[in-house]
Amino acid sequence: MIVVGLTGGIGAGKSTVSTMLADRGAVIVDADQIARDLQAPGAPLLGEMAARFGGQIINDDGSLDRAAVASIVFSDEDALKDLNGIVHPAMQSEIQRQIDEHRGTDRVVVLDFPLLGENPRRGLAATIVVDIPYDLAVQRVVEFRGMDEVDARNRINSQISREQRLERATHVIDNSRGVDELEQRVDELWAELLELPHTGPETEHDSAN
């Protein structure tokens, strides 16, 4: 298997590129989906979180009260560290489990991870960054997500900068033009990915996190 990472700022077009890569045969490991599944009602992780932060972080229907967790960790560094200490290892081991399912195959496995820039990962044959200028990201988030412009800017500003993310890229996908151009760029990218070295046993479980 060939394991690559895919990231990009909010509204850059990661999900769109991820779908295009899946159409070309990639296996997608979706970090956001994994995070949602791990924190679904009844998941063991919620019990661990409640043990640390109190039962008030669980809604009556068993779901996680994300706003309650956010307000606890917002002003308390130790709480944030503990939260990461609970969520992060569970995320990493589920990501690794899903990647390992394809070990020994010829598949291209794409780890779709919005926070890959913040959490670089070893053992990736490539780090693909979907890139658009700041103002275009704001415009797309406002237009397609219905977000207020100030909220969109705040969300984007809370992430690492475009420049920091690009520093870690081995492959950059410029998504500032239309979807047809993006399809063409993804065709080129796909051909490049197929030429990458396969992930060998030496990189097994070799994660920076």
Q: Which residues bind ligand ATP (CB under 6 A)?
A: 8, 10-16, 114, 140, 144, 175, 178-179, 182
Q: Of 59 and 176, which has the nearer Cβ to ligand ATP?
A: 176
Q: Tell me the two tokens of residue 103.
A: 């070990």
* Least distance from ligand ATP to the Cβ atom of residue 121, Å: 18
Q: SS3 string of the chain?
A: CEEEEEEECCCCCHHHHHHHHHHCCCEEEEHHHHHHHHCCCCCHHHHHHHHHHCHHHECCCCCECHHHHHHHHHCCHHHHHHHHHHHHHHHHHHHHHHHHCCCCCCCEEEEECCCCCCCCCCCCCEEEEEECCHHHHHHHHHHHHCCCHHHHHHHHHCCCCHHHHHHCCCEEEECCCCHHHHHHHHHHHHHHHHCCCCCCHHHCCCCCC
* Least distance from ligand ATP to the Cβ atom of residue 179, Å: 5
Q: Of 14 and 171, which has the nearer Cβ to ligand ATP?
A: 14
* Least distance from ligand ATP to the Cβ atom of residue 19, Å: 8
Q: Of 140 and 171, which has the nearer Cβ to ligand ATP?
A: 140
* Least distance from ligand ATP to the Cβ atom of residue 67, Å: 19
Q: Of 11 and 123, which has the nearer Cβ to ligand ATP?
A: 11
Q: Of 21 and 49, which has the nearer Cβ to ligand ATP?
A: 21
Determine the length of the chain: 209
* Least distance from ligand ATP to the Cβ atom of residue 87, Å: 19
* Least distance from ligand ATP to the Cβ atom of residue 170, Å: 18
Q: Output the CA torsion 39→44→49→52 (10° steps).
A: 180
DSSP 8-state symbol, 153: H
Q: Of 18 and 39, which has the nearer Cβ to ligand ATP?
A: 18
